Structure 1
Amino acid sequence: MAGESGPSESDPPSRRGGVSGDARPGGGRARWFVVAVILVLAAGSVAFLFVERRSGCDDSERYTVAVTADLAPVIEGTSVSACTEFEVVEQEPGEVSARLATDDVPDLWLPAGGWWASWAGETATGPVRTVSTPLATTPLVIAGAPGTVEPAADWQEALSDPGLVFGNPLRSGPAAGAIRAVLAEAADDPVAMGTVRPVMAPLAEREGVRDEEVPTGSTLLEETVADGGTVVSTEQQVETYRSVHKRELGIEVPATGTLLVDYPVVVTARGERHDAAAAAATALTDALHTSEGLDRLTRHGFRDGGGRPLPDGRGAGAVPVLELDDETVAEEAMNVWALQALPVRTVFAVDVSASMNRDLGDESRIELVRRAATAANEVLPGNVSAGLWFFGGGVSDYATLPNDRAEATGDYIVAAPIRRFDAVVDDGTQRDLLTSLVAQMAGTADETTALYDTILAAFRYVQDSYDPRAANSVVVVTDGADNGSAMSKDELLAVLSNENDPSRPVRIVTIGLGEDVDTATLEQIAAATGGVSYRTSDPLDITELVLTALADRTGG
């Protein structure tokens, strides 16, 4: 729904997306966020120290403030109470969200979009508390060199432009805001996601093939304009470009309106620092609500917290404002984006113990897995990265051991290390190698199954070679219970719980075959890493389950 952005004498209204009180790790709604951590935690940051130390202050307290590069100059130039230091750290909201799942957190956070605080609170390991109405706002726009930006009836049409540079909505405020704008336009549609998926698919596909993270903020705007393209940006970034480069840009707001990116103050300090950081947040808020603070925001191209247009005819003027009332559809959209944009990186670990030679229906279990894995190799895209492990008694003497195995033990062998399907290996590709290995896959003569030891080894293998731009996982196929590991189930679960790192998530996905499989244990193992467990006794299901598990990016 939309309302008009224009002058108002009232106090700046609260915007949706903040969290009142402490927000701590939640349930299934946080699936997409874990994927966001994959993408953004490794990104760098820039820190600046702003000190306001006045006479009579023997000792000062320093607080880290995480903001985007666009807002950093405003915070750096803001004077607060005596004895207070602010260290300004330039980070995108998705990067800060990832940090909040670890112990390395800022004291204060001004996200480019209050909704980030709500999302981050789902998986944060400490408080995420919004303590103010927005200090500033800026509307989303489509920007480019003069004459390159075409009018659009709505955001769905604007984002459908194949030449539009979009950005990463799991990291950037404007990119996430643009998806929210499409959802807000479809707020009266009971199947709103159906209108968004066709828009997101080509954008996510372009993101998925990138070798490097797309730039953000003013840097993205400058690079896109230099290349003659158009980009999802903000009024503030356009005003900064005009001021720095002394050149005009073309901007358009879809006829339906636009979304305001808001900047609330969020307290994320832990323990005893939390209350003191909240007091510093109040001081910062008060300083930016003064006439001097509001003037500083305006000079840097920001609107006030109420979204009043910039003075002197600058910017986009009065625009209809789109607001998203249902936060769950935005979370679903982020999950869909993650599913479409993130490449898969996995170890496929197959039980080849003697029990896999038994029939399930008209074929042996190992033959059903062989056929399913072959089908997966044929249809999964070239940007999938996969390795192949075999485990079970007698596997060290397995006839199909290749020369490039990474490791061999009495419990399992690494038949092929993780590589992209389209990577060149010898005279073919990784896909060719995996297809050949799967074709030779056969059960051993030994019933021993070191399931727990193999799962932990595979988990550590993927974690040690973790790729932050992929969905990292271990897919395990077995038909039985553990009867050969050095460790117990409880020991495995304890180790997985201790070593599972939300900032470097590796999902364990299990597929149990037949009636004898220890379903409860497989479910516990998968759950310990946020993964998912499947079981079937129907041979017709196995191919679909293998494809689903290999393509899984979030774990359930």
Structure 2
Amino acid sequence: MGRHRGNSPDEDDHRPRRRSGRSRRRRGRGGAITAFAAAFAVLLGLGVTGWVLIDRQGGCGREDISLKVLAASELSPVLTRIASSFNAGEHSLDGRCVQVEVRGADSANVAYGISGAGPTMGDTSSHVWIPDSSLWPSLVERSTENAVLTDTGTAVAHSPLVLALPREAAEDGEATSWATLVPTDTATPGNGGYDVRLIDPVRSSSGLATLALIKGAIGDGQEQQARLIAAFQGLQQGVATDEEAAFSALSGDSGDASPVLVLSEQAAWRYNNEHENAPAHVNYPEGGTYTLDYPYLLRTDDPLLSRAAEAFRAELTGDDAQSLIRGEGFRSADGTADTEVLRSEAGFQKEIPAELPSPSGGAVEQLTRAWNQLKLNTRMLTVLDISGSMAEAVPGTGLTRMNVTTQAATEGLSLFPEDAEIGLWEFSVRINGDLDYRETVPIRPLDNEVEGGTQHQALTTALAGIEPKPDGDTGLYDTILAAYREMSRTYKADRVNTILVLTDGNNDDEGSISLDELLTTLEEEFVPDRPVAVISIAFGPDIDPEPLERIAQVTKGAAYSTDDPTEIGDIFLQSFALRIADTGEEG
């Protein structure tokens, strides 16, 4: 990474008080030779191996070297104790004592604060940063080139991700893997029959790693996109804003029954300490898991502060410090656990669980962007073709094209949260005076009360009652332009504004605008910072996909086509996947 002094606290700005009550000792010739040899050893050691020679015999007679350390909140209490002992030992560099100050900080807040790109901004003033996971520095690397951030290659602690669930549920449950948390029915968002909870991935390493692990279990490829979306949606329904909310769900305080929570071992141990009346049992997913690795990162390029940071790093990796760290529910970097702390009766295992490779910086960025895109509230106008050809039978189903389409649209409503705003138009040719379209259900949130029911129910009823217009033609182009203008006029910046067109035919309205006129108008009226995407699903043997593809290109939407109307349901999911598909390349 690049170097930028402004990202690291200036030593002179944080100069501590001069130590008092200590007399300086004069050195004779022998002392001078000893001091020269020690200095030479320090220089040689730093240049070759990176080790630091520390004077543990006192002799601090000048200003202290103040080393500021930001550590993950759950790790900072034990590091504060270790730092207190370290400071009492009067570790001296060049006759100046190193004094370590540890502060707890949310890892996500620090990462976003350093990079300047994120939903939160935290305290970044430190010489050493110990986040809970290497995911955060990798995210910083992708976001900025100006941060002073050096990986020392040292992990202060380890804590693998586990599944924590109420003890009663654990006794009845089966062996779990990340794949078992993936929904088997993409039309019904959920997570493999489990009420899976995780902490918001934008703010939590465990949550972010869970997304990567589930994505890995699903696999890559266009055909897997629907399963990924359904899994993400199921997770979003039970996402906890922070650890306190997650603990509340696990303990039953929030009224939830038998949730499965993705936590680190240490967080599960901490939960049990705080909830003795509702302890959790830990399960280790088959096939391996991701491990929080608490990397020791330098945030200074000052030579003296770097030596002080190296001294404290050496302290943290020593036997005494590691014993204290294991006593707080962590493992050492080699996987060693304190079995008197992580006890088997709670499900904790002594053996190191198989560690899956951590996601790359590019994958982390992609996952967070996908999660945020999917989390954005939806505002969608569904535009349904009711031309005469929609009455034709779909071979082998006993259903008409209209039946298959309205069933897929009805099932598709379950993909959206209840605050999604969705409306319905139908179109053919001149079905509303001289207009080719008419509003069937206005755009409203799905949970809005409408005539004794909800908008969701109103849409379901309307879809069930739609009938094709006998001998009706397809006024596609005029309808798309009208829908585009209506959605642009009523655009909402906090939502994804989309038009979904469901049709089995090509434009055959002789009185409509031409395709070229439509494309030119859409190009002229498209506003990049107020986008309205046109997504079309066309089905049937007579479809010409090119016009819809060109419309999608102009509006940054997508066009799907199939000869088989029974595939509409799967394509509906793929169209919804467009919201997270274009999220950047993995690096």
**Normalization by structure 1: what TM-score?**
0.54
Q: Is the 8 A contact 1:64 1:89 kept in 2?
A: no
Q: 2:243 aligns with which of 202, 212, 217?
A: 217
Q: Deviations over 1:364-397 (max 9, x none)?
A: xxxx997675233332244633523669999898
- Change in 2 beyond 3 A, CA 1:222/1:397: same
1: CA distance between counterparts of 2:77 and 2:534? 44
Corresponding residue of 2:263: 233
1: CA distance between counterparts of 2:570 and 2:289? 42
Q: 2:517 aligns with which of 483, 487, 498?
A: 483
Q: 2:291 aligns with which of 248, 257, 260?
A: 260
Question: Matched residue of 1:131: which SS?
Answer: strand
1: CA distance between counterparts of 2:382 and 2:356? 43
Matched, 1:137 2:158: yes
Q: Is the 8 A contact 2:157 2:294 kept in 1?
A: yes
Matched, 1:156 2:191: no
Q: Is the 8 A contact 1:459 1:474 kept in 2?
A: no
Corresponding residue of 2:451: 426
2: CA distance between counterparts of 1:517 and 1:242? 60
Corresponding residue of 1:114: 134
2: CA distance between counterparts of 1:145 and 1:542? 40
Q: CA deviation at 1:300?
A: 4.4
Q: Deviations over 1:88-121 (max 9, x none)?
A: 6536599959x97559666597554434655787
Question: Matched residue of 1:464: which SS?
Answer: coil
2: CA distance between counterparts of 1:349 and 1:146? 46
Answer with 280-289 or 319-328: which moved more: 280-289
Question: Matched residue of 2:517: which SS?
Answer: coil
Equivalences, count:
450
1: CA distance between counterparts of 2:335 and 2:435? 68
Q: 1:523 aligns with which of 549, 553, 570?
A: 553
Corresponding residue of 1:464: 493
Corresponding residue of 1:54: 16
2: CA distance between counterparts of 1:547 and 1:202? 12
Corresponding residue of 1:377: 409
- Change in 2 beyond 3 A, CA 1:74/1:284: farther
Q: CA deviation at 1:439?
A: 3.3
Letter in 2 for 1:489: E
Q: Is the 8 A contact 1:110 1:264 kept in 2?
A: yes
Alignment of 1:164-203 (within 5 A): 166-168=197-199, 170-171=201-202, 172-175=204-207, 177=209
Q: Is the 8 A contact 1:62 1:87 kept in 2?
A: no
Q: Is the 8 A contact 1:141 1:253 kept in 2?
A: yes
1: CA distance between counterparts of 2:482 and 2:325? 58
Q: Is the 8 A contact 1:218 1:241 kept in 2?
A: no
Matched, 1:387 2:422: yes
Corresponding residue of 1:46: none
Q: 1:307 aligns with which of 335, 342, 350?
A: 335
Matched, 1:70 2:95: no
- Change in 2 beyond 3 A, CA 1:379/1:73: same
Q: Deviations over 1:487-525 (max 9, x none)?
A: 772773xx42x567xxxxx86635576367263452253
Question: Matched residue of 1:322: which SS?
Answer: coil
Superposed CA RMSD: 6.6
In structure 2, list runs of 5 or more residues that go unmatched. Answer: 3-12, 19-61, 88-96, 182-191, 394-399, 508-513, 583-587
Q: CA deviation at 1:419?
A: 2.0
Q: Is the 8 A contact 2:329 2:341 kept in 1?
A: no
Matched, 1:533 2:558: yes
Question: Matched residue of 1:345: which SS?
Answer: strand
Q: Is the 8 A contact 1:309 1:318 kept in 2?
A: yes
Q: CA deviation at 1:319?
A: 1.6
Q: CA deviation at 1:262?
A: 1.6
Letter in 2 for 1:514: D
Corresponding residue of 2:466: 439
Letter in 2 for 1:70: E
Letter in 2 for 1:234: S
- Change in 2 beyond 3 A, CA 1:462/1:138: farther
- Change in 2 beyond 3 A, CA 1:357/1:125: farther
Corresponding residue of 1:32: none
In structure 1, list runs of 5 or more residues that go unmatched. Answer: 1-20, 23-50, 268-274, 403-413, 467-471, 501-505, 527-531
1: CA distance between counterparts of 2:242 and 2:481? 43
Question: Matched residue of 2:555: which SS?
Answer: helix
Identity of aligned residues (%): 15
- Change in 2 beyond 3 A, CA 1:251/1:343: same
Question: Matched residue of 2:553: which SS?
Answer: helix
Letter in 2 for 1:425: V
Letter in 2 for 1:525: T
Q: CA deviation at 1:401?
A: 5.9
- Change in 2 beyond 3 A, CA 1:508/1:112: farther
Question: Matched residue of 1:436: which SS?
Answer: helix
2: CA distance between counterparts of 1:86 and 1:454? 58
Q: CA deviation at 1:474?
A: 0.9
Q: CA deviation at 1:247?
A: 8.1
1: CA distance between counterparts of 2:270 and 2:151? 28
1: CA distance between counterparts of 2:232 and 2:434? 44
Corresponding residue of 2:185: none
Q: Deviations over 1:269-298 (max 9, x none)?
A: xxxxxx869999968964752426873745
Corresponding residue of 1:347: 380
Letter in 1 for 2:443: P
Q: Is the 8 A contact 1:260 1:307 kept in 2?
A: no
